Amino acid sequence: MEFCPGSASEVRHLRDSWGNRVEWYDTRLERAERYEIMTEIDVAGQTYVVLTAVDASDPHPYLFRYSLAEGTPSFVPVESEEEWDQAADAFVVWLDTHHA
């Protein structure tokens, strides 16, 4: 599926329910990580969140696909290159729109 800027929109599911911070348990590192929500984007019906670590020593944004199951967020790293490109393109459009 090719990305079309009109198919993406900003949403506020996590921020409206949980505030501007979320926690994700990283099974690889075996610890909980705390993140600030930079934005949430719906791309053709799939929701993504761009997070930055609360720890100021790591300024890089992270992109996760997410869903809400019984009100609890479930974060999944994006592994498909095509899906990553679509979500990243939507994030770039969001940046251009909101931080120009």
Q: What is the mean pLDDT of residues 18-44?
A: 87
Question: What pTM was estimated for this model as a whole?
Answer: 0.79
Per-residue model confidence as pLDDT tens digits over 33-53: 888 998 899 988 899 999 998
Residue 60 to residues 29, 47, 55, 70, Cα–Cα distance (Å): 17, 20, 11, 30
Residue 2 has pLDDT above 50, yes or no: no
- Confidence (pLDDT) at 49: 93
Q: Where are the domains of the chain?
A: 7-98
Give CA–CA dist 44/30, Å, rounded: 33
Whole-number mean pLDDT of the chain? 83
